[in-house]
Structure 1
């Protein structure tokens, strides 16, 4: 349509730069040096779309961009990729819900392959820094490929595939082939783990953390193992889904205690990285499957207790602010996403997880979760304390997870776990709102800690703890 053609011709990758269409006119495939990318797209435009279906034009245009992207990879011609991805992001932003489900099978593999071109050399390097890599080809790849941009495309597509709020959940034992499930069936676990490597820069690591939050489904979290139609294989498929969940929970929860090296100790980035991992676990817990898997994990609860204890230690070690003010609503993440999309987790009633306990949160923009512009360290610590306490309380007290949590046994198997647990709960239970450092610990967090402490100790032990804090 004329309107879409005008949008395409006027699109620019960044402010002050030439229009993307002008940039396309400067690129020609080595296999076809007589035609520019601009002429290829213009030649295909008249055949795009179908009468009566306005969104088909966007789908066909996205397919064309992905085909050109794939050809760039095939011919090892990486220069145009940044501009192709930028225009694809713009196309999805126009109507991700209608476009994304139709391009998953081609988008996800080409995007993952592109990211791996940079991510794998990072993994094979000493610290992930490729600026001084001895191979000039690798250095050039880093200039031509923006991994964060590619992950942004995946996030926008995944967001467009989420079930709509009014959509009725399936009641069958076998999951329906919804766009969300199709997305995560196409995604590979190996790629997810590669992008969660601490050798990736914070933008890419954080982007994958946030992308994982769109994966929560009634029967899975993260990539979904390939399924067979034969009903006799359903038990093995369930075991595969359990194994994927256990692997992801182990990986994500590890960053609660050991954040990546770029999150330097005693920095806001260190706290934000731990908070990013905590938020991803909380997203997993919004579904009954994910919540159950976290409860069954041998490492998730001990690590959760460890990060809570750590956050309280850091809080009390903090310098007093010059103008202290209570951090209102510290129990919920503030809206730091600017103009990014807000997506509540779908089908919350059927998920049966933490949504019922008031823990829903919007998904954060993939470029802004771990940044120096994040809230101050004290605010981030208050968020870890509030959200971590809520998650722990849910796992321990909800009838669907309490038996699997078996917190006393798991903490006993963790060195110092039981002591950290009692100390953390006691400190929260006796936090005073009129004190500067504790002003951001809201009443709900104190009440949840009080309930956990009552479950963990006898009345006599509780009296002894109370005397210690008098």
Structure 2
């Protein structure tokens, strides 16, 4: 058969069969039998193919592992094969399947099943795949176990990483806190050092001034000493001269001693007679000669003043000190003392008689002459007072005259209340106020037992109708509640120096009267007067009224009620009495200043300070006040200086309460709307007020430090930085 045109060889040629060795078929049969046997497992190759050389890749056989089952090789009987098929089988076994090569070369798909003339593939490939499956499964299970272990290890490492990150974050927070505290301590240390240096400089300057003053005083003392020495010397000389003159004068008035008789006895001294010849007498006698007594004739020639007898008779020595008349007391000292006290009593009574409520008003006694009690209409009140004056102090010590006079006025006032004669009450209130202003300490302790209940009873006539929103006519025409409270305040001031008196005063003040006057329905002036009165009731163990005998009274409950009424105007605007109109902003601002000042004074007492810190709404209302005043401060309206002062006082009070007492701040802030936000915002604003800002210029310089310390108690350093960044971007 001729060869085909496509170049394929024809293996059916007889010459080709003759060239095949005789044992070739046996060898092929043995090879086929060997292929059908189980193959020896080769050692597992490396996963990375390190055991294969480049030469092995040329002889590598591609195994189709996608097939799940090995190919079934049909058994072909040796006798059924024709020579052509046998030659084809031998050719394939020796040279391989050329169709496979051509298939890969021409990208032809897999052979069709109906091609039965081709020999099956060797069984070594599927056997090798089946043998490698268990080892692959074992390696896959080992890999799965390794993956689970790795996953667990990764999870543990992630957890450790998170723990380390959390620990690092907490360490950073602690470091930030320590840095803040260190910076604060450094600032405090620098401030302390500056204060110490300033104090030392002041002390040094003071010592320098004292030293200079001492030097000046020493120089002045030395100069004064020199002057005194000079004066003493001059005085000594003058005394010496006076003594000498006195001695000389005493000598002149004394009778002269009788001299020895002279030889000549002519009335002249012998030394006045010149001897014609000194040689007549001896020189020794000439030198020893003494003047003799003048002669009779010479005596007649002397003047009368020169006569020693005349001087001795006429001149009488007068002692230096003149005669002093003995003092005879005209009046006894006790009489003079009584007269002085009598004059003091007269002055007080004269002042009372001359008193008038104002310049255009009649004198009080003249005005009282127009009023009379219902029980005695024919006798005026002024006549009762004038009739009582002679009796006042007659049987009492004179020092109690003012208190006796005031007690009589209080008696008349009480009778007017009982008989519903209200028109002269304002006169009694005014004259009693004037009397207490003159002699507060000497009058108040003697009249508080009668005065305080009467004042409260009088004020109730107007205050109670206001509280229940009823008309106050006709009482408000004749009764002024503010003047009654002013008189009460003056009485309290007179009791403050003595603990016994002030305690007795607050035992007389009713607790319901205090709450009544602190009501928002009362006048602002009356509210302010009650604040002044309460400032005297801040005692060590009590605040406000003291009524131990009343079973319904509890000191802690009473203090809580007072603080509740006291702090109400801090966040609400008061209205005018019996009117819906709000009070002026300036009036409310001044009232809030007085309230905060009173609350600051309460912190001096352990009892009142603890009551203020434990009150459920006081601190929250104080924070609300600071927030509102900061908003008013930024509005740049009138009264900005007072707002800045109020902010300073309130912040200082809040700082004292926060740092001194322990309480739940969030619970205190929950009583107002947005309390926590207002608290943080207020503290943040106040913290930045130290940066030479315009609106905050009136705030005291120590307030930013207080705000910063309170801010550090409620925020972390990161939150503080966020707040600072937020405020700096506004």
What TM-score do you get using the length of structure 2 for normalisation? 0.50
Q: Does 1:31 align with 2:289?
A: no
Instruction: State the shift of 1:51 in Å.
Output: 8.4
Instruction: State the shift of 1:39 in Å.
Output: 1.4
Distance 1:98 1:318, change over 3 A: same
SS in 2 for 1:46: coil
1:8-23 matches, cutoff 5 A: 8-23=352-367
Instruction: State the shift of 1:279 in Å.
Output: 2.4
1:260-271 matches, cutoff 5 A: 260-262=574-576, 264=582, 267-271=585-589
Task: Tell me how far apart the structure 2 counterparts of residues 397 and 58 of structure 1 sit (CA, whole Å).
Answer: 50
Aligned to 1:6: 350
Worse overlay, 105-114 or 92-101: 92-101
Distance 1:386 1:62, change over 3 A: same
Distance 1:84 1:266, change over 3 A: closer
Aligned to 2:642: 380
Task: Tell me how far apart the structure 2 counterparts of residues 2 and 275 of structure 1 sit (CA, whole Å).
Answer: 44
| Mapped contact 2:570–2:625 kept (Cα < 8 A) | yes
Aligned to 1:332: none
1:96-129 CA-partner distances (Å, limit 9, x unpaired): 2222122112111110111111112212326xxx
Q: Does 1:77 align with 2:421?
A: yes
Task: Tell me how far apart the structure 1 counterparts of residues 349 and 404 of structure 2 sit (CA, whole Å).
Answer: 13
Task: Tell me how far apart the structure 1 counterparts of residues 408 and 558 of structure 2 sit (CA, whole Å).
Answer: 33
Q: Does 1:397 align with 2:719?
A: no
Q: Does 1:159 align with 2:493?
A: yes
Aligned to 1:117: 461
Match among 703, 709, 715 for residue 451 of structure 1: 709
1:60-459 matches, cutoff 5 A: 60-125=404-469, 133=471, 138-163=472-497, 178-227=500-549, 240-262=554-576, 264=582, 267-319=585-637, 377-398=639-660, 402-403=661-662, 405-412=663-670, 414-432=672-690, 434-459=692-717
Distance 1:412 1:197, change over 3 A: closer
Instruction: State the shift of 1:428 in Å.
Output: 0.4
Task: Tell me how far apart the structure 1 counterparts of residues 425 and 691 of structure 2 sit (CA, whole Å).
Answer: 53
| Mapped contact 2:573–2:583 kept (Cα < 8 A) | no
| Mapped contact 2:540–2:605 kept (Cα < 8 A) | yes
Task: Tell me how far apart the structure 1 counterparts of residues 696 and 393 of structure 2 sit (CA, whole Å).
Answer: 59
| Mapped contact 1:55–1:99 kept (Cα < 8 A) | no
Instruction: State the shift of 1:227 in Å.
Output: 4.2
1:49-101 CA-partner distances (Å, limit 9, x unpaired): 37895541121111111111100000000111000110000111112222212
| Mapped contact 1:28–1:35 kept (Cα < 8 A) | yes
Distance 1:432 1:266, change over 3 A: farther
Q: Does 1:58 align with 2:422?
A: no
Higher relative contact order (CA 8 A, sep 6+): 1
Task: Tell me how far apart the structure 1 counterparts of residues 584 and 724 of structure 2 sit (CA, whole Å).
Answer: 31
| Structure 1 gaps, min length 5 | 127-132, 165-176, 229-235, 320-375
Task: Tell me how far apart the structure 2 counterparts of residues 393 and 30 of structure 1 sit (CA, whole Å).
Answer: 59
| Mapped contact 2:620–2:670 kept (Cα < 8 A) | no
Task: Tell me how far apart the structure 2 counterparts of residues 259 and 12 of structure 1 sit (CA, whole Å).
Answer: 38
Task: Tell me how far apart the structure 1 counterparts of residues 420 and 625 of structure 2 sit (CA, whole Å).
Answer: 44
Task: Tell me how far apart the structure 2 counterparts of residues 454 and 288 of structure 1 sit (CA, whole Å).
Answer: 27
Instruction: State the shift of 1:407 in Å.
Output: 2.2
1:277-311 CA-partner distances (Å, limit 9, x unpaired): 22222232221111110001111111111111111
Task: Tell me how far apart the structure 1 counterparts of residues 599 and 711 of structure 2 sit (CA, whole Å).
Answer: 23
Task: Tell me how far apart the structure 1 counterparts of residues 481 and 398 of structure 2 sit (CA, whole Å).
Answer: 31
Structure label with greater radius of gyration = 2
Task: Tell me how far apart the structure 1 counterparts of residues 625 and 488 of structure 2 sit (CA, whole Å).
Answer: 30
Task: Tell me how far apart the structure 1 counterparts of residues 689 and 399 of structure 2 sit (CA, whole Å).
Answer: 55
Q: Name the count of aligned residue pairs.
A: 380
| Structure 2 gaps, min length 5 | 1-344
Instruction: State the shift of 1:414 in Å.
Output: 4.3
Task: Tell me how far apart the structure 1 counterparts of residues 678 and 486 of structure 2 sit (CA, whole Å).
Answer: 38
1:345-380 CA-partner distances (Å, limit 9, x unpaired): xxxxxxxxxxxxxxxxxxxxxxxxxxxxxxx52122
Instruction: State the shift of 1:266 in Å.
Output: 7.2
| Mapped contact 1:48–1:56 kept (Cα < 8 A) | no
